[in-house]
Structure 1
Amino acid sequence: MSGYGNYLNLIALSLFSFQVTGSAFGVGALMALRLFAGFLAGLGSAALAARTTRLRIMVGADIGQGVAMTVLALCADRAPVWLLGCAVVVTGAGNVCFTVALRSAVPAMVGPEARTRANGLLVTGRSIATVLGFASAAPVIAFGGYGAAFALNAASFAVCAVALLALRPRTDGEDRGAEEPGREESAGRPGRRRPWRGAAGLPGLLLGMILLRGVDALASSSHNVALPVVAHAAEPSAPALFMTRFWVAWAVGTIAAHLVLKRAGKGTGWGERAFAWGTLAMSVCFVAAFTGLPAAGLVAVAACAGFADGWTEIVYTSRLQAAPDRQRSRLFGMSATAETAGFAVGTVLAAAALEALPALSVVGVFHGTAVLAALLLLAFAATAARSPSRTHGSEGDTHGTRPGTGTPPGA
């Protein structure tokens, strides 16, 4: 429900921003403000999670965003720019805080073994919410105005908050204060350094996945910016139909990814390599979507891109959730920061590039960067797997990439 409200509001708030500011620059400035608020929220989410429960963070984020949208709905006819700016800051920060808390809480909610299935259900719900939110934005605004769209968004947050308070799911594990795995082994073998160990005590492969996720967000910004341009050029009489067809096919692909991973029965065996290959396939499919394919070919390619998108989302989220409870909020906070920064920078660069270059060139360059980053992660994973010290320590069992190791390495 809250996802539906978010995607409905994504269109409504963009159009309303243009109406209030009267310029494309104003729309871009407010979008940048929202992304910057999300960036800061990602940086501070781990510290916030250490001081309170994830359930309170999610409920608080819902209440804050609901209040902001209610005020905006009541003032839709005469909203000043400063009020709109406050609303986008609250929604930008609230959405990131909620997402970080939810993703890091999934193992505590359903148990480590069921996290991949739960992530698949979340991805499926998000895909359906995306299509319904985008599809209903136009009729809702047409019949009820921006006030109705904002009120509906506020109601979706209220439903989510009430559901959390009624269900009161367990969101925090028992090891939040425990020492990180691997510290004991390190203490027992002073001076021994693992070559794949990353910065700040995190495994290098996990840091590589987060960096690749940020590059993927940068690449994805290009097709999000270029798609409306291509839609107007390909079908000037019905650009909305073109975009709806594309995103519906994409959503069907993401749902199919969940069904495949669920039937594979190896949710805890997929790791960094599966994520890298999925990112590579997704980038190739998105580039192919801008090559001027006929309608049937575009639908097929969009479905394949959605499958790879759903695959990478489930695999990536499940892999980060394999970390100890006390580390998960930090990981997902870093991930949210990388994704927000990548998408923000990519949106600005892609919009500027589209002024001088065709859509295919822009999307090709951006997603080509993601392909190169995925290949680098694959090479890094192969090097770590061949490292002689990998067979001596226990870190490979905790953070390894091979299925079937002792502690589930994550998917």
Structure 2
Amino acid sequence: MNHRFRAVASAYAASAYGNYLNLIALSLFSYEVTGTAFGVGAVAALRLVSGFAAGLLAGALSRRAGRRAVMIGADAAQGVAMGVMALCAEDTPLWLLGAAVVVLGAGNTFFTVSLRSAVPVMVGEEARTRANGMLVTGRSLGTVLGFASAAPVIGSGGYALAFTLNGVSFAVSAAVLLALRPHTDRADPPAEAAGGKAGPPPAGGGGGRLKGVVAGLPLLLLGMILLRGIDALASSSHNVALPVVAHATRPAEPAVVMTQFWTAWAAGTVLAHLALKRGRSERAWGERSFVLGTCAMSLSFVAAFLGLPALAWVAAAAAAGFADGWTEIVYTSRLQAVPDRERGRLFGLSAVAEQSGFALGMVAAAAALETWSALAVVAVFHGAAVCAALVLLLCTVRRRGATGSRPSTAGEEDEGEDSHGTRTGAGGLPGSRAGSHGR
């Protein structure tokens, strides 16, 4: 792992801290500006919608402008937005709040898509799983610190200080990218077209941009992306239900309960990185690892709402974090195994799936909690994710049985007629996939 990538990963962790500090600060600030719970929901929805739209554009933008330029531009735009919010914290008009959350939602998606698709270029194909693990670990630690420090930061310096710290975190990330100039784009991308693989059709007359983004992608990859979106929907349930349980369990100190949960979760994600780093070759982790990890994660989150004793509850949160980190690293590494020219498109589509799933899940889970218990809501939502994972596993097994091929690995290609030359193998809103899970 070269020193440039380590510096980028550290800057990413700092940016994650600012983001999750701001996640709490901006929610509370939105209530002050709008004065209603509906206003808070509308602001959150606007941020998610802007992220959804950015996911459709991110792949094409990173190809045209270059990934490093997109990341720097996203950091700069978000930093400026937070700087303006800090200066106007005492008297912020509604239109300015709306503009800021649009910039934050789109900027985060543009940055994440460009960073994830650039990892194999920065560290090499064989080191991408370790690199992804480093990014997941840094984000997890930043998430916990951001959540834990939100109350004291806002209490001591108000929303202006919280917005300032977030703006500084974006400035640090942009400065690292400007100073170190990591190599994020291939100078001479391989000519995949020579092998008979057509690039994505232009979006427009063929059924819209989304159809253009999806066209020509391998079915198993689309299945993994769809499962990732369903997983994000399931993750929204424990994000909505956890505050309810925290207030019921410890009415005087619900923040303590949430901090304990997310700290244990973050520790699990770190252990997942260590396990994958010391495990088998990068090429060994396939779609089965992703599917089984998704099942383990969902079952662990459900277990955390069973009313377990304190130590068992912490163990369940840590197990959920381990499975969460495992699936994200394996999933991301798998998408990075496709040809360089396709990565931006895949990660953009993945961002669309995750944003959509999480947004829909937040609304549905909140409505379900009005009549169901927290355990019932979490069990139903994560049960759906387990069912979807088993369906994908069945499709994978049947496909291999039909083709008579041996199990594929992350870097190999299959020439089956429906695969378009690629086969699936080995791979960020916590609890708000923190990305979306812990997310």
By the TM > 0.5 criterion, same fold? yes
Seen in structure 2, the aligned counterparts of structure 1 residues 159 and 380 have a Cα distance that, compared at 3 Å, is: same
Structure-1 residue corresponding to 2:339: 324
Secondary structure at the residue paired with 1:171?
coil
Seen in structure 2, the aligned counterparts of structure 1 residues 262 and 180 have a Cα distance that, compared at 3 Å, is: farther
- Match for 2:70 among 51, 57, 60? 57
User: Cα deviations across residues 292-324 of structure 1 (Å, max 9, x unaligned)?
Assistant: 112111100000000000000100000000000
Secondary structure at the residue paired with 1:172?
coil
Conserved in 2, the CA contact under 8 Å of 1:215 and 1:370? yes
Matches within 5 A, 1:74-113: 74-113=87-126
Structure-2 residue corresponding to 1:315: 330
Structure-2 residue corresponding to 1:354: 369
Matches within 5 A, 1:202-217: 202-217=217-232
- Match for 2:270 among 255, 258, 263? 255
- Match for 2:387 among 363, 366, 372? 372
Q: Does 1:73 align with 2:79?
A: no
Where do 5+ consecutive residues of structure 1 fail to align? 186-197, 401-405
Alpha-carbon distance between aligned partners in 1 of 2:306 and 2:193, rounded to the nearest angstrom: 48
Structure-1 residue corresponding to 2:8: none
Conserved in 2, the CA contact under 8 Å of 1:175 and 1:324? no
Alpha-carbon distance between aligned partners in 1 of 2:261 and 2:270, rounded to the nearest angstrom: 15
**4+ long deviations beyond 3 Å:** 174-177, 393-397, 406-411
Letter paired with 1:314: I
Secondary structure at the residue paired with 2:318?
helix
Structure-2 residue corresponding to 1:201: 216
- Match for 1:218 among 233, 236, 256? 233
Structure-1 residue corresponding to 2:184: 171
Which range moved further: 172-181 or 352-361? 172-181
Residue 204 of structure 1 and its aligned partner are, at CA, apart by 1.1
Structure-2 residue corresponding to 1:4: 17
Conserved in 1, the CA contact under 8 Å of 2:33 and 2:93? yes
Structure-1 residue corresponding to 2:248: 233
Residue 217 of structure 1 and its aligned partner are, at CA, apart by 0.2
Secondary structure at the residue paired with 1:201?
coil
Letter paired with 1:13: L
Seen in structure 2, the aligned counterparts of structure 1 residues 105 and 247 have a Cα distance that, compared at 3 Å, is: same
**Residue identity (%):** 65
Conserved in 1, the CA contact under 8 Å of 2:334 and 2:410? no
Matches within 5 A, 1:131-150: 131-150=144-163
Alpha-carbon distance between aligned partners in 2 of 1:56 and 1:172, rounded to the nearest angstrom: 10
How many residues are paired up? 393
Alpha-carbon distance between aligned partners in 2 of 1:297 and 1:366, rounded to the nearest angstrom: 22
Structure-2 residue corresponding to 1:296: 311
Residue 46 of structure 1 and its aligned partner are, at CA, apart by 1.3
Secondary structure at the residue paired with 2:412?
helix
Seen in structure 2, the aligned counterparts of structure 1 residues 177 and 50 have a Cα distance that, compared at 3 Å, is: farther
Alpha-carbon distance between aligned partners in 1 of 2:269 and 2:44, rounded to the nearest angstrom: 26
Q: Does 1:26 align with 2:39?
A: yes
Conserved in 2, the CA contact under 8 Å of 1:271 and 1:315? yes
Matches within 5 A, 1:261-272: 261-272=276-287
Structure-1 residue corresponding to 2:51: 38
Residue 380 of structure 1 and its aligned partner are, at CA, apart by 1.0
Secondary structure at the residue paired with 2:345?
helix
Residue 394 of structure 1 and its aligned partner are, at CA, apart by 12
Conserved in 1, the CA contact under 8 Å of 2:62 and 2:344? yes
Where do 5+ consecutive residues of structure 2 fail to align? 1-13, 199-212, 416-421, 428-439
Q: Does 1:341 align with 2:368?
A: no
Alpha-carbon distance between aligned partners in 2 of 1:269 and 1:6, rounded to the nearest angstrom: 33
Alpha-carbon distance between aligned partners in 2 of 1:394 and 1:66, rounded to the nearest angstrom: 40
Residue 383 of structure 1 and its aligned partner are, at CA, apart by 1.3
Q: TM-score, normalised by structure 1?
A: 0.92
Q: TM-score, normalised by structure 2?
A: 0.86
Conserved in 2, the CA contact under 8 Å of 1:116 and 1:268? no
Alpha-carbon distance between aligned partners in 2 of 1:239 and 1:180, rounded to the nearest angstrom: 56
